[in-house]
Each structure stands twice: as C-alpha cells, then as structure tokens.
Amino acid sequence: MYPPQVLAIFFAVATAIEALSSPLPHPLDPLSPTELTAVRSAVLASSLVSSRPISFHYVGLDEPEKADVLSPTNGSILPRRAFVIARAGGLSHEFYVDITNTSAPLVVSHGIHGGPGFPMFTTEEQVAAGRLSREYPPLKESLRRRGLAFTDVGCGVFSMGWFGKVNEARRLAKVQCFVVAGGTANFYARPLEGVTLLVDLEKLVIVGYRDRAVYSVPKAEGTDYRAGKAGPPFNGPVPAPGVVVQPEGKGFHIDGHIVRWANWEFHVGFDMRAGTVISMASVHDSDADLWRRVLYRGFVSEIFVPYMDPEEEWYFHTFMDAGEYGLGVSAVQLQPGADCPANAAYMDGYYIDADGKPVKSENIICVFERYAGDVAWRHTGVAGPIAPITEVRPEVTLVVRMVVTVGNYDYTLDWEFKTVGSIKTVVSLSGILEMKATNYTHIDQIRDDIHGTLVAENTIGVYHDHFITYHLDLDIDGNKNSFIKNTVVPKRNTGVPATGGAPTPRRSYWTVLSEVAETEAEGQVNINDTPADLLFVNLSKKTKVGNEVGYRLIPAGATATSLLTDDDYPQRRASYTKKQVWVTSYNKSDKWTSGLYAEQSTGDDNLAAWSKRNRRIKDEDIVLWYTVGLHHLPCQEDFPVMPTISGAFELRPYNFFERNPLIRIRPPGNSPNCSCSVGGSG
C-alpha cells in the first residue's frame, strides 16, 4: 500500500492530466449544469440576502469583455461569471457570481433593482397561479351559469402589461380560462370569454375577479389538430416521400459549441431568455486565404405581440414573449424527420428552475445541411454558331434551428449560412390563433367592429401584430464599422452627357445618394419610406479597386411597423417598433430591446430610450437591431391550426470579396438517387 504522500502526488498528477486532456471551454459557452449548480450554491449561501425563499428568474452567462474574447492573452482561460436575477423579500436582486472554480463559487457583487418592471415569470409560479382558480367560489358560480364544472376548465397566466400606474410594487398577472373538456386538445379554441382573474404572483392569492358577460362556448367539434382526431381518412394532398442522401456523411463538424462547415465557422450558444445565440461567425476568403469576421454575437432580443381588441378581457394582451416568458425556457424538443430532416445533428440546452436547479432541454437546437434545389450561380452563354455553354452551381446551405412555443404560438427560428458569405435569418409562425368567443355564428349578424375575423361559429380570430427584434453585433472585418444609407434618387436627363459625346433621347434615370450615419439618431430607418441599400462597412478596409468592404441588409418581406399611437401604453413599452432598423453604439449591457425587466415595464429602459443618448456610430463598434414585423389578419385557413407564414432578412456581402467567392467551386458530379420501397414482401 502506498503512503499518503505518494497517493497525494498520484492524485495531483492524475488531476493535471485530466485537465490537460479535457477541452478548454470557449469563453462564450453557455453555462453548464455544473456551473448552474455552483451559481445556486453561491447565491443561497450568500449573506447579502436575508429574506427567504429565493426564487430564481434568470441565470445566464455574464459575457467576458469583448476585447478579451477577441484578443486572449497567452492562451489563458478567461474568468467565468454568471449573471443572476432572483426575487426575495418582494425585491429583484441582481448577482454576479464567479464560477471559474465551480467547487468554490463566489458572489462578487449584489444589487437591487429599483426601477419599474419585473423579471421573467417562472414556470412554477405560472402553474401555481393557474391552479388558484380551482374551487374559487366566484369562478364556480360563473361556471354554473355556463353549465360547466371546475373539472371542465383549465386556467393560465397572461402578462398584464403596463397602463400608467406608477410605483406599482406588486407582481400581478391576469389569469384567464379555457374549456379543456370535450375531447379536443385545442383548448385555445374554446375560451371562457368574459371571465378574468387578477393574481398576486408572490403571495399567490386572487386579488381581483370579473365576470363581465356570458358568451357561447365554441364547440369542440372540428378544432382538434392531432392526427388521430383529424383523420383518418386523410384526404389532403400527399407529396411523394423523400429522403436526404449524404453518401460521404455530414458536411459539417461540431466541436463542443463550435460549428465548422464549408467556408463558415461560428459558435452556437443557448440562453434561457434569448434561446439560440450565434457568436464569432467568420467566413473564409479563399482568394486571400483568410478567416474574416462578420458577426460577433446575434440573437432574438424580443418578440412583441400586441392584440387589437380594446375590450376588458383583451386590452392587456400585449405580450413580450422573450422578456416575460423566455424563448429558451419555451424551446421545445425537436421532432426528427419533421422539425428537422434526417441529416440533422442535435444540441441540448440547460436553464434553471425557480429553485435554481438545472433543467435539461434535450434536442432543442438542430443543425443540418439544406438541399433545396436552389442555384448558387448559373449562366448559359450563346455566341454565334458554337454550342451553348452552360455552367451551374447548386446551392447548399447550413441551417441552425430552434422552435419555441410561447402559449398558443410556435416560432421556428432559423439561422441560415450560405457559401456566398450570407447569413439569412428566417422566423416562421405557426400554432394556434388567440381566439375570442362570440355569440355570432355568421358574418351577416355582425354590425360592429369585432376586432378580428369570424373563423368559425362563435369564434373570432383577433387581429394582432408580431414584431421579432434581432440583436446583431456586427464586426465586418473588424469591430470598427459604419452605417451607410444608399438612397435611390430619380434624376431628369438634361440631354448633355457628362463624359462628352452626342445627346441621347433618354429622359430619366436614377442614381445613388450615399449618406454615412454619424450618430444614433441618423441610424434609425423605416425601410418602407424610400428605396435604399442599407450597408455596414469597414471604412479602413478596401478592395483592390478602392471600394469599402461591407455587408448589405436585405429585408425579405414582413416589414410592417406598429400602427399604435405613440401615447398608447403598449407602444410606449415597445416604442422601437415604429422603425425596422436601429443602429447603436456597442454597449455590453444593451442586450434586451425591451429592457432588462420587461414584465410590466414602462418603456424607460428600451432600445428607443438608449438611442436618445445619440452616441457616435461612425467608425465605431456598432450594433444593428432589426425587426421583422407582420400584421396578422386571421382567416379561416388559420383555423384550427395555422399554416406557417414567414418573414426574413439577409446579411449579404457587399464588396466584401474581390469577386464572386463561389467562382472556383467544383461543378457537381452525379448525385446519388435513392429509390425506397415501403412495405413489400421481402
């Protein structure tokens, strides 16, 4: 038997070898279960908060300073820290916890939020608040009037927004109910209209109740979306089944959270509020044989969904999905072969519950190569008597996907990387409408504005908006960038050529007026106003012929802006939705376009408020905020479950490369074909 001193040496050597063999964490890696557990231990052990219990509402990575991430010194590992928002004693506490050594985590700072607004709901308090309605005598009487029992209904929490009350210290929420009996999974189609409860979330008591009017409960028949209920028989269009064949295997490689594919390398992270986070996206310039950075950090910062019904049960339906419910918390497990194709790889995510314990979400991010039959570039050349020359290159892209289900709506959030150097983001909406019960069964009965569309008997699909705002910290070939607006301007031809020669009969043309934004006030654009190219350039980097290297922002539909009046309370909270484009100076703390505390926020801490600082944005580290906006006028095809609609935008190279970066890609060979028989006698 070895003496204790020798055993100690063996243990030390083994520990050192294990540390050397383990992959070093990337400084932007999301918090691991071990780190989340260490954060919880540090907060609960801290003497800075005497009140108990402590409820955890947000725990996320406190990102290292950007300069340290981009220029690490001597290969050293950067400190790991977490940012925590927890509730205790009726206050919102903020902690920064050092977890570099997870066996000895340390609270390095503590503060108390003193302004308006509250952190995200926890899942646990939403469930508890929904259950308060059980056996609540006034609700029991309301149900009796409608011929229903407690067992027939289920209730859920709805954020109540902010409507002018100042210094409201209580965390309040509305609770509304749906009929869950009747054999359909689509309870959203059967609202208990006219009934609203008001709940104190921390005392978990009902503090208000209103039964304003009795409406017919929509019938369950024809509302279910489950395959076993909707069919058989299945008599809709049936395309022939297909498969993705990659005989040489996947073309991408995932190393921890780093994804490498074709001419792209980037980091995929996860946050309980934002969901997917894309960082350090760089594209390889094959002509120069250089990796060139495009995007430092990008994520969905907020999804604002205001409904257009001002009546008592609906006026407060003005949701901030990320800031109130959390997109990462709402991410759902992806279904192979349906949400993602057969050639996809999957990644998990971790967040905390109200007690601070890690929760694992399996397979919530998928990565796959998309073969959609698209063309990267092509040309057929015909010159005189020679045979036509045709050159075509197929386009294959890489997709990073997450699906979040916030209540009734499902959002498919894609980041698509293209070999031409583009990054395209697509948000696709499906799921269930928010529906209002009515006594109307036919549009001939309607005389007033019903604030929606009669999509079925006794069922109104309420008008609403979707505003999905992205935070995009662009680093185009470096972190000193500028924003240029190239406006297309019509001109009258004077008939006298500027370069000499004879006049021509041409009477008009258009040219470009180029304006470099100096300050944040000049970095705000409603892209529906005038046609323009919106460019993000690096003034210090030029091509061989002298053009500034850059990327172009290309909207792809869904460019709606808010139509609410500026003095309306929901619009004050989401004042940034009047314009699709905002460009701000980089600030590490400016992450959430709706503010750090979005629940019951007042608009004093949001993107529009930050921009009033009017900081310099020319030749600076700048951030693009882009909002995909849709006005949704429901129709009968959206019932009982809506087909997907999408909005998108693309960041595309603009004088970034010396020429088409795909000019040297190899022509395609013969693609394998797969003929598969199903069933058969063998």
For the entire predicted model, the pTM comes to: 0.93
Cβ contact 651:294 at 8 Å: yes
Whole-number percent of the chain with pLDDT over 90: 83
Does a structural domain hold residue 85?
A: yes
Instruction: Point out the least confidently predicted range of 20-24, 71-75, 236-240.
Output: 20-24
In a domain, 501, yes or no: no
What integer best gives the mean pLDDT of the chain?
92
Distance CA 254, CA 367 (A): 9
DSSP 390-424: EEEEEEEEEEEEEEEEETTEEEEEEEEEETTS-EE
Asked if 252 and 369 touch (Cβ cutoff 8 Å), the reply is yes
Residue 236 pLDDT > 80: no
Residue 75's pLDDT is: 61
- Predicted local confidence at residue 23, as pLDDT: 54
Least trusted range by pLDDT, from 115-124, 159-168, 518-527:
159-168
pLDDT value at residue 74: 59
- Answer whether 356's CB lies under 8 Å from 85's CB: no
- The reply to whether 66 and 162 lie within a common domain is no
> Is residue 350 annotated as part of the catalytic site, yes or no?
no
Specify whether 587 is located in the same domain as 635: yes
Euclidean distance between the first and the last CA atom of the chain, given in angstroms as a whole number? 63
The Cα 278–Cα 269 span in angstroms is 6
The answer to whether 465 and 195 have CB atoms below 8 angstroms apart is no
- Strand segments (E) across 313-408: 318-320, 345-352, 358-381, 389-406
CA distances from 302 to 88, 299, 535, 646 (A): 26, 9, 23, 17
Judge whether 585 lies within some domain.
Answer: yes
491 domain-assigned: no
Residues 263 and 404 in one domain: yes
Please report the pLDDT score of residue 333 as a whole number.
98
Residue 239 within a domain: no
Is there a contact between 547 and 541 (Cβ–Cβ < 8 Å)? no
- Exposed / middle / buried, residue 430 (Cβ in 10 Å: 0-12, 13-18, 19+): middle
Domain termination residue (choose one: 79, 112, 145): 112
Indicate if 409 belongs to the active site: yes
* pLDDT confidence bin for 675, thresholds 50/70/90: very low
pLDDT at 665: 86
**Of the candidates 53, 82, 112, which is a domain's last residue?**
112
Q: How far apart are CA 259 and CA 524, in angstroms?
A: 33
Same domain, yes or no: 72 and 161: no
Catalytic annotation, pick one of 188, 351, 409, 597:
409
304 and 196, same domain (yes or no): no
Instruction: Kindly state the tokens that stand for 61.
Output: 């990575």
CA 677-681-682 angle, 5° bins = 75
Residue 442 has pLDDT above 90, yes or no: yes
Q: Which residue has the higher pLDDT, 333 or 384?
A: 333
Q: Where are the alpha helices (DSSP H) in 94-163?
A: 123-131, 137-145
pLDDT value of residue 239? 82
Give the lowest-confidence range in 69-83, 112-126, 523-537: 69-83
Q: How many residues are there in the chain?
A: 682
Cα–Cα distance, 454 to 442 (Å, whole number): 8
Is residue 344 located within the same domain as residue 224? Answer: no
pLDDT at 3: 45
CATH number at residue 198: 3.10.450.40
Task: Verify that 39 and 143 share a domain, yes or no.
Answer: no
Please identify which of the residues 321, 410, 477, 621 carries the catalytic annotation. 321
Tens digit of pLDDT for each residue in 254-285? Answer: 999 999 999 999 999 999 999 999 999 999 99
- List, in sequence order, the alpha helices (H) in 132-214: 137-145
If asked whether residues 128 and 105 sit together in one domain, one would say no
454 in a structural domain:
yes
Number of domains in the chain: 3
**462 — pLDDT class (breaks 50, 70, 90):** very high
**Do 175 and 28 fall within a single domain?**
no
Q: Is the pLDDT of residue 105 over 50?
A: yes
Q: Is residue 429 part of a domain?
A: yes
Q: How confident is the model at residue 654 (pLDDT cuts 50, 70, 90)?
A: very high
Tell whether 328 and 416 lie within a shared domain. yes
Domain range for residue 132? 123-230
Angle at 560 between CA 555 and CA 563, to 5 degrees: 155
pLDDT band, residue 17 (cuts 50/70/90)? very low
- pLDDT of the residue at 115: 92
Domain boundary among 112, 135, 160: 112
- Do 413 and 341 share a domain, yes or no? yes
Q: Report whether pLDDT(500) > 90.
A: no
CATH number of the domain to which 450 belongs: 2.70.98.20
Q: With contact defined as beta carbons under 8 Å apart, do 550 and 497 qualify?
A: no
Comparing CA positions, the residue from 360, 357, 356 lying closest to residue 84 is 356
In this model, does residue 181 exceed pLDDT 90? yes
Domain co-membership, 296 together with 434: yes
Residue 57's alpha-carbon distances to 60, 94, 199, 568, 682, in angstroms, are 10, 10, 18, 29, 56
As a whole number of Å, the CA-based R_g of the chain is 28
pLDDT value for 127? 97
Q: What is the pLDDT of residue 679?
A: 41
Give 417 or 24, the one with higher predicted confidence. Answer: 417
Q: pLDDT per residue over 503-546, tens digit each?
A: 888 899 999 999 999 999 999 999 999 889 999 999 999 999 99
In a domain, 669, yes or no: no
Closest by Cα among 115, 85, 97, 90 to 41:
97
